[in-house]
Amino acid sequence: MEFRNLGNSGLRISEIAYGNWLTHGSQVEQEQALACVRQALDVGITTFDTADTYADTKAESVLGEALRGERREGLEIFTKVFWPMGQPGQNDHGLSRKHIHESINGSLRRLGTDYVDLYQAHRFDRQTPLEETMEAFADVVRQGKALYIGVSEWTAAQLREGHRLARELRIPFVSNQPQYNMLWRVIEGEVVPTSQELGIGQIVWSPIAQGVLTGKYKPGQAPPAGSRATDQLGGSDMISGWLKDPVLGAVQQLAPLAQQAGLTMAQLAVAWVLQNPNVSAAIIGASRPEQVIENSHAAGVKLDAALLTAIDDILAPVIQRDPALTTSPQRSTFN
């Protein structure tokens, strides 16, 4: 495993992180989830990402159970706050002081730890003054419940303003967690340059585009049985936007490039996001331990310029680059 600094902080994290969105507590049975975490530890992954909303808090509980007994100082545990859980009341979502205070306490209890290494705003909250949000995060840091602060899917302007307030409050705002992969490059135009300027690192989710970049989904064919596209607990909804014949057809053309590089399609996809110097880590998920082993081999891989150009040429018609697609929902939609 290779390691990188998270943004310009001194925190070192595994460049491949293990995440349990859409798996633990929902798509994957608990024993299999525990096996995947054990495998992640075995291949040298030390960074684990979750959120209170994943599987309606169950994912945090499963991760806490899986990491029980591990040396806490040797792990980097990340979680998030924003989305509602269960049947929410008016204050059970968003980034208000009340919700942040209650959510961090719940997350720590479920994870079985006194602190998280990184606490992240899961989206931007337009219904709460940003000053209130950042002051609440400052309290969390000063109480020792989180060491660093990050966000997820914030625009360049939101990152800049949040970072300014964090500097005033003297708390370490070090990361953003966006979707990023060969097909979805909306952060490259504005978010990445702004983050590089501010010292914010990207912890990217969906590096294999929900499994589409593995090549297992074929144009004109039904999804494989047991794949995410057949998961009725949320997985099929998330992947549906990628299951279009032009996208699937273009992805199939990447297979010879992966073979020439001595990589599987999944390894090529994970290695590709790690070529971006602003990426601190790529989050992988897994429903089987062997997937963890496969994806971990993308660590430390260097892709040459000719290969990167060939990928761009093949995927050009289906790449999404519009920065305006980085958005956060109105909290009123949760009520």
Longest Cα–Cα distance in the chain? 55
The band of 243, judged by pLDDT with boundaries at 50, 70 and 90, is confident
Q: What residue ranges in the chain does DSSP mark as E strands? A: 3-5, 12-14, 16-19, 47-49, 76-81, 116-121, 146-151, 173-176, 201-204, 279-284
User: Angle, nearest 10°, between helix axes 30-42 and 289-296?
Assistant: 30
Residue 237's pLDDT is: 65
Q: Which domain holds residue 41?
A: 3-334
Give me the CATH number covering residue 149. Answer: 3.20.20.100
Alpha helices in 112-170 (DSSP H): 130-142, 156-169
Tokens 């798996």, located at residue: 23
DSSP 131: H
Considering the entire predicted model, what is its pTM? 0.92
| Residue 71 pLDDT > 60 | yes
- The mean pLDDT of 176-191, rounded to a whole number, is 97
DSSP SS3 for 161: helix
Q: How many domains does one find in the chain?
A: 1
**54 noted as active-site residue:** yes
User: Which is catalytic among the residues 54, 119, 148, 180?
Assistant: 54
Q: Report the pLDDT averaged over residues 140-164.
A: 98
What is the per-residue DSSP string for 297-334?
A: TTTT----HHHHHHHHHHHGGG-B--GGG-----GGGG
- The mean of the pLDDT values for the chain is 91
- Looking at the DSSP bridge assignments, the partners of residue 137 are none
